[in-house]
Amino acid sequence: MNAQSDESNTALARVAELESIKSDLVSKENLFQQSDLTKLQKLLPDNVDNIRLFLDMQGIAMSYGTSIQDISVADQSQKTSIQAIGPSSKQYGQMALSFSVNISYEKLGLFLKDLENSLRVVEVKSLSFTADNKTPNLYKVSFSLNAFWLNPKTPTTLISQ
């Protein structure tokens, strides 16, 4: 009976400790501005959110008088290798996205700069050019990139200050 009481007291102490940690984390989270939390959610969302990604890419393209075309998506987080058996322990997911835009060379540099400064974390894997015979100053530029998101199924390490 005494051992059972000790176990219960230990469990209750652990629950109180976890409640204290939770309360501390909630108070730290409340110190952030809502706009900063929104930016952080956009930077690394906790789901694929490919619609938002397409809208962001389209918004950048539209600012240069073009639109994205030939869209293709592949979820890279579900690929398994011989070494990986069971659920993924990666803290992030990855989606391969490809699309093309018709754009001038001058505007392409600005497009890439906007893509770089976008809040969404993307990695440009490749891009290729095809000249447009009908319009000499326009190129069809095909992009292949990876977009990332946090995997909510894996624990993240908390950084104490």
Distance of CA 124 to CAs 5, 128, 133, Å?
A: 59, 11, 26
In this prediction, the residues of the chain whose per-residue pLDDT falls under 70 are 1, 39-49, 75-90, 151-161
pLDDT on residue 161: 41
Q: Is 37 helix (H, G, I), strand (E, B) or coil?
A: helix
Overall pTM surpassing 0.75 (yes/no): no
Mean residue pLDDT of the chain comes to: 79
- 4: its two tokens: 């059972």
Domain residue ranges in the chain: 2-31, 44-80+89-150
Residue 67 to residue 144: CA distance in whole angstroms:
16
Residue 137 to residue 81: CA distance in whole angstroms:
44
pLDDT on residue 70: 92
pLDDT on residue 160: 44
Superfamily holding 44-80+89-150:
Ribosomal protein S6/Translation elongation factor EF1B (3.30.70.60)
Nearest alpha carbon to residue 101 among 140, 43, 52, 153: 140
pLDDT on residue 81: 44
